[in-house]
Chains A and B, each alone.
Chain A
Amino acid sequence: AQKITQTQPGMFVQEKEAVTLDCTYDTSDPSYGLFWYKQPSSGEMIFLIYQGSYDQQNATEGRYSLNFQKARKSANLVISASQLGDSAMYFCASPCRQLTFGSGTQLTVLP
C-alpha cells in the first residue's frame, strides 16, 4: 500500500508571493503518478496538476508547477503569484491500485 504525507496542516502567504506546499510519497511501484487537487470552502475538488514518474520534466500548469524529486520521493506544489482566490485546502494524491489522498494543507492568502 502506498502512503501520501503532507506535513503542513496550514500555510500563510502574502498576496502576489510564491508558496510551496509539501508532499512526500512512499511507494515501491516504479510506475506511479501524483495529482494535486484544490478544495475551496464550497467543497468541490478541482484538479490542478499531474506528474508521472517517468516524466522527464517537472509538470507546469499556468501558475502551478511541481518540484518533483524522485530520490527524495517528494512532489511539492509551487504556486506563483498567489491570489486571494487561492485560499483553499490542497491535497496531494497518487493512483496506484487505489487513489490515495494526503491529509491536506490549508492555504490562506493574505491581502
Chain B
Amino acid sequence: EAGVAQSPRYKIIEKRQSVAFWCNPISGHATLYWYQQILGQGPKLLIQFQNNGVVDDSQLPKDRFSAERLKGVDSTLKIQPAKLEDSAVYLCASSLRGSPPDRDTEAFFGQGTRLTVV
C-alpha cells in the first residue's frame, strides 16, 4: 500500500514570496490533515478535511494560508506572502476517517516539507 506522498521535500524562499505544498493521501482515506511543526514542538493542526469539506480550520492563519482538497483526494496548502515565522516542517496526514475515535482514526503521515523562509 502506497503511503502519503508530499512534495517538495525541501523549499527555501524569501519572505513575502508565495509557496505551495502538495499532498496525495492514501487511497480511500476520507480524512486529510495539514500540520505545522516548528522545530522542537509538537505538530499543530492547521486544517482538517473530511472528503472535500473542511472539518476544522480554526488555527489556519487565513490572511496568508489557504488550503483546498479538490475532489476529496489530493490537497494543496499555500502560503502567500510568507513570513520568517512560517519556517517549519509541514506535515500532511490521512486517515480512513476522523471520528468517532478508534483504530480507523490512526493518522498516516507523509515525510513532510521542510520550509525555510529567509
B105 within 8 A of A: yes
Interface size class of A (residues with CB under 8 A): 20 to 34
Considering the complex, give the chain B residue whose CB is closest to the CB of A32. B101
A16-59 interface with B by 8 A CB criterion: 31-33, 35, 43-45, 47, 50, 52-53
Closest chain-B Cβ to A2's Cβ sits at a distance in Å of 10
Q: B residues within 8 A CB of A50?
A: 103, 106
Q: A residues within 8 A CB of B43?
A: 45, 91, 101
Closest chain-B Cβ to A65's Cβ sits at a distance in Å of 17
**Distance, CA A91 to CA B22, complexed state (A):** 25
Q: A residues within 8 A CB of B55?
A: 97-98
Contact with B along A71-111 (1 / 0, CB 8 A): 00000000000000000000101111111111110000000
Interface size counted on chain B using CB atoms at 8 A? 28
CB contacts between A and B, total, < 8 Å: 70
List the interface of chain A (C-beta within 8 A of B): 6, 31-33, 35, 43-45, 47, 50, 52-53, 91, 93-104
**Distance, CA A37 to CA B79, complexed state (A):** 27
Cross-interface CB contact of A99 among B45, B102, B111, B114, cutoff 8 Å = B45
Cross-interface CB contact of B45 among A52, A91, A100, A102, cutoff 8 Å = A100
Interface contact B101-A33, CB-CB below 8 Å: yes
Interface contact B98-A95, CB-CB below 8 Å: yes
**Distance, CA A53 to CA B112, complexed state (A):** 30
Cross-interface CB contact of A103 among B35, B41, B45, B106, cutoff 8 Å = B41
**Distance, CA A45 to CA B112, complexed state (A):** 10
